[in-house]
Every structure is written in structure tokens, then in C-alpha cells.
Chains A and B, each alone.
Chain A
Amino acid sequence: MADITITDTVDITDVVCPVTFVKAKVALEELDDGDILAVRMNDGEPVQNVPRSIKEEGHKILKLDDNGDGTYTLIVRKVGD
């Protein structure tokens, strides 16, 4: 996984459910198939639910990094145009 190049980053720590997922979804829509999005999200409800919602949209989750500051960064590869 060393060769992951982040195409774009979105911070969803400033919004609450269901806007968390909507904001991530909109960011993904801006990208092309195969691009990588980093999504920074809060611990708790966002990290419990947003990864699953992104999976259900058909995108590929590559990893989840614990930032150690109460936030996590989800690395997602966009699937589809």
C-alpha cells in the first residue's frame, strides 16, 4: 500500500450525520474512476457509519488511519465515473 497517491482530501469533521456521508459522497463525485480520496472524520458515529455507506455506494476502502487526535482518515478508491 506504500504507493497510494492521494488525489484529493475532504474534511467531514465539521458536519454531522447525515451530512458527513453527503459531503464525502459529493467529494467522490468530483473524482474519476481509480482516483484516491482521503476522508478525515471524527471518532464515534462518523467512523462507525461512513465507511460502510461508502462501501455500499460501491467504492473501495483501502485503509483507515487513526490520527491519534480523535479523528480518523479513511482512504477510498473511487469506483465508477
Chain B
Amino acid sequence: MAVDYGTLKKGGFMRQKQKNHFSLRLRVVGGNVTAVQLAKIAEVAEQFGDGHVHLTSRQSIEIPFIKLEEIDSVKAALADGGVEPGVCGPRVRTITACQGAAICPSGCIDTYALAKELDDRYFARELPHKFKFGITGCQNNCLKAEENDLGIKGGIKVTWREADCISCGVCVKACRSKAIALEDGKITVNSDLCNFCGRCCKACPTDAWDTIQGYVVSFGGLFGNHIAKGEAVIPFIEDHDTLMRICDTAIQFFDDNALPGERFKFTLDRIGWDKFNEKIMEAYHNG
């Protein structure tokens, strides 16, 4: 019987150079794996692989040296431990995320919750080519948002609250963008310089800031054969529903306009960023 490599690849089985062996990519969301899942993965690697796993560059786990004839048994064994195969090929790939606000003191958004939501919404959606989402919690950018087709970076928009301020100037020093000035006991924020990192409000001894958690979204990033930094269209997106409309619009634009095998950046370059920006602005305003 002929082997359908396309279907295998779609199901996360990556053909190895060793005949009839596959490296099985697993479904991981936001880089989190439970201890139960890990134990099952270890067991399967021992029983069906060669006893090792590979950590991929995008937070997935692969179990190499799975034999063609054992694929069904491997899938069943993994399902027992709540582990599913991942995907490869022209579709939405692993949603990556840093630890975000749930764990990290620097985090501005709950990256894992967002990764799970995007995974439910888009994972494995068929598209003209691969499409990668990455979510990072803050400007430190540990998850490298702009190297993804669609990158999301958490941010905080701040407004000074005079009544609670003790004019200590800690925020002026905490700001790395030199966006904050303190003169005659009054704080001013230069909105052209503010990058929404949230360091001012996180450092403030009296929490004298009104804050809005939000997102900086970039499009068209690549970090493979070609390297390009994703670009933002809107400086700051203030709410979750607008973010979702913008993600829907971007992925639909890619689906409607991309040529087979064309990454998002090249679709945007070919069709025109102006046309894309128009669609995004429409989604941004039509709540």
C-alpha cells in the first residue's frame, strides 16, 4: 500500500531520513506541558521511539524513530495521557507563548489563556501555506513576537493619577524609553515615546496610574529562508474582542489572497500593505 505522506505530515508525523521512520510532532499550546503528559511522552519514547525526544524551536516536542506500522498504536497510547499529535504543512501551527502575566512579574497579559483561545479558534486551519502565531507578555519580547506571521505582544497603556502620586520619580527612572518627565510635582508622559512596557506602573510605590491592558500586533514576520520583522498596523489594541476581530481579518486576508506556498509577508508585499491596512482598520473600527 502506498504511504500517504501528506496525511501523515498533516497529523504531525515528519518523515525521517531513515526509511519508514517518523518523528512525531506533538500538540503543545503556549509551551505548557503537564507532568502527566510528560510522563506519557517519556513512556511512548521508550516503548516506540529510541528513548529520546526533541524540543523544537517553537515549543513543541517531537518523538523521533516512530515506525510506520506502529503509528496507530502510538496515537492511542498518547491519547491515554491526554497528548495529541501536532501538525506540519500549510496550516496554522503551534501557538507559542511566554509565561506571561500569570507567572512572570514583567508580564502585561495572560499569554497562556490567549494561546489556548487562539489554539481553539485556529489550530490546524487549512491555509495556502504555514501560518505561525506567537504571543509574548511584554516588551522584553522573550517570545520574539515579530518573527511570527502574526505576533501579539502584551502592553499597558497608562494615565497618571495625580491624587495618589508622591512625586518620588521612580517611574521616571523605571522608564527605558525616556517617555516620562517630572516637573514641579507633575508627571507628563510623551505618548510618542511610550512603548506600553508598563514598567512605570509596575514600579510605582503608590500605584498612581490608571492602566489598560492591551496588545501590540505585528504582521508578516518570518525567520526561516527569508528573515523579516513583522510590522504593526495599529499602535495599541485596547480590548480582547477587537484583537480577535483583527486576528480573524488577518488570517482571512491570507486565506483569500495568498498563492499556494506563499508566506504572509510575501502576500502582503504582492497585494499591497495599503489594502491590508484598510481591512485591518475596518476590523478595528467596526466593533
Q: Hey, what's the 0/1 contact readout for B78-106 against A, CB within 8 Å counting as 1? A: 00000000000000000000000000010
Instruction: Classify chain B: how many residues form its interface, as a range.
Output: 10 to 19
Measured CB to CB, the nearest residue on chain B to A60 is B205
Q: Tell me, yes or no, whether A5 is within 8 Å of chain B by CB.
A: no
Contact yes or no, B105 A56, CB < 8 A: yes
Contact yes or no, B169 A55, CB < 8 A: no
Contact yes or no, A64 B203, CB < 8 A: no
Measured CB to CB, the nearest residue on chain B to A76 is B205
Contact yes or no, A55 B105, CB < 8 A: no
Q: Tell me, yes or no, whether A66 is within 8 Å of chain B by CB.
A: yes
Of residues 55 through 81 on chain A, the ones whose CB sits less than 8 Å from some CB of chain B are 55-56, 60-64, 66, 72, 74
Measured CB to CB, the nearest residue on chain A to B204 is A55
* B166 contact set on A, CB distance < 8 A: 62-63
Inter-chain residue pair count (beta carbon < 8 A): 37
Q: How far is the CB of B170 from the nearest CB of chain A, in Å?
A: 5
* A63 contact set on B, CB distance < 8 A: 166, 168
Q: How far is the CB of A64 from the nearest CB of chain B, in Å?
A: 5
Instruction: Classify chain A: how many residues form its interface, as a range.
Output: 10 to 19
Q: Tell me, yes or no, whether A52 is within 8 Å of chain B by CB.
A: yes
Q: Tell me, yes or no, whether A31 is within 8 Å of chain B by CB.
A: no
Q: Tell me, yes or no, whether B67 is within 8 Å of chain A by CB.
A: no
**Bound-complex Cα distance A62 to B173 (A):** 15
Q: Tell me, yes or no, whether A47 is within 8 Å of chain B by CB.
A: yes
* B169 contact set on A, CB distance < 8 A: 64, 66
* A64 contact set on B, CB distance < 8 A: 168-170, 173
* B170 contact set on A, CB distance < 8 A: 51-52, 61, 64, 74
Contact yes or no, B168 A52, CB < 8 A: no
Q: Tell me, yes or no, whether B125 is within 8 Å of chain A by CB.
A: no
Measured CB to CB, the nearest residue on chain A to B174 is A48
Max chain B CB contacts within 10 Å: which of A52, A62, A72?
A52
**Bound-complex Cα distance A72 to B173 (A):** 10
Contact yes or no, B176 A48, CB < 8 A: yes
Given the known A-B contacts A56-B105, A62-B168, are A48 and B173 also in contact in the complex, defined by CB atoms under 8 Å?
Answer: yes
**Bound-complex Cα distance A20 to B176 (A):** 19
* A66 contact set on B, CB distance < 8 A: 169
Contact yes or no, A61 B173, CB < 8 A: no
Of residues 125 through 184 on chain B, the ones whose CB sits less than 8 Å from some CB of chain A are 166, 168-170, 173-174, 176
Q: How far is the CB of A48 from the nearest CB of chain B, in Å?
A: 6
Contact yes or no, B174 A61, CB < 8 A: no
Q: Tell me, yes or no, whether B25 is within 8 Å of chain A by CB.
A: no
Q: How far is the CB of A68 from the nearest CB of chain B, in Å?
A: 13
Q: Hey, what's the 0/1 contact readout for B197-209 against A, CB within 8 Å counting as 1? A: 0010011110000
Contact yes or no, A51 B105, CB < 8 A: no
Measured CB to CB, the nearest residue on chain A to B171 is A51
Q: How far is the CB of B234 from the nearest CB of chain A, in Å?
A: 28
**Bound-complex Cα distance A51 to B200 (A):** 11
Q: How far is the CB of B57 from the nearest CB of chain A, in Å?
A: 28
Contact yes or no, B174 A55, CB < 8 A: no
- 10 residue pairs A–B, Cβ–Cβ below 8 Å: A48-B176, A51-B203, A52-B170, A52-B174, A52-B203, A55-B205, A56-B105, A63-B168, A72-B173, A74-B170
Additional A-B contact list (13), CB under 8 Å, known A48-B173, A52-B202, A60-B205: A48-B174, A49-B174, A51-B173, A52-B170, A52-B199, A55-B204, A56-B105, A61-B170, A63-B166, A64-B168, A64-B170, A64-B173, A72-B173
